[in-house]
Amino acid sequence: MTARSPYEILGEDGIGELVDAFYDAMDEMPQAARVRAMHKENLDEIRDKLKDYLTGWMGGPPLYHRKTGTVCLTDPHDPYWIGPRERDQWLLCMDEALERISASDELKNMLKEPMYRIADTVRNRQSSSERDEDPNIIAVG
């Protein structure tokens, strides 16, 4: 038997539910404040973009690519300081979203490592704040 793709498990509606739960978690969880601050107050546009991206990434039609001509994730994230803490906050929101939609253990296990790779791919700093990487700061405290 061939393994089902995440898209086959969730479908477009399920991916939409996952994305909504993801951004709802980001809005509600104080532990995600740094990553939430990178977004506009109104999340409608970014919800649509993530839904389109995940639809193709999970094995469905390449909606994001059709609209943007690319699937590059690093360029749109370049203006933001994304270190390990921000990556981990993003992953925390995704883990919470999977819980909120009652995703199966099969799906959670299927997505765990690939979601980490996505989040780590957009990480563009070794640390989680400009202050941490400023060579002119001798001591922090």
Query: How confident is the model over 63-89, as pLDDT tens digits?
Result: 999 999 988 888 888 999 999 999 999
d(CA 139, CA 24): 37
Domain CATH number, residue 95: 1.10.490.10
In a domain? residue 94? yes
Q: Tally the domains of the chain.
A: 1
pTM: 0.87
Contacts of 18 (CB under 8 A, 6+ apart): 10, 54, 97, 98, 101, 103
In a domain? residue 1? no
Count the helix, strand and coil residues of the chain and give each as a percent rounded to the nearest 5: 65, 0, 35
CA atoms within 13 A on the CB side of 44: 1
Higher pLDDT, 12 or 133: 12
d(CA 91, CA 97): 10
In a domain? residue 133? no
Q: What is the pLDDT of residues 84-103, one digit of tens each?
A: 999 999 999 999 999 999 99
In total, the chain counts a number of residues equal to 141
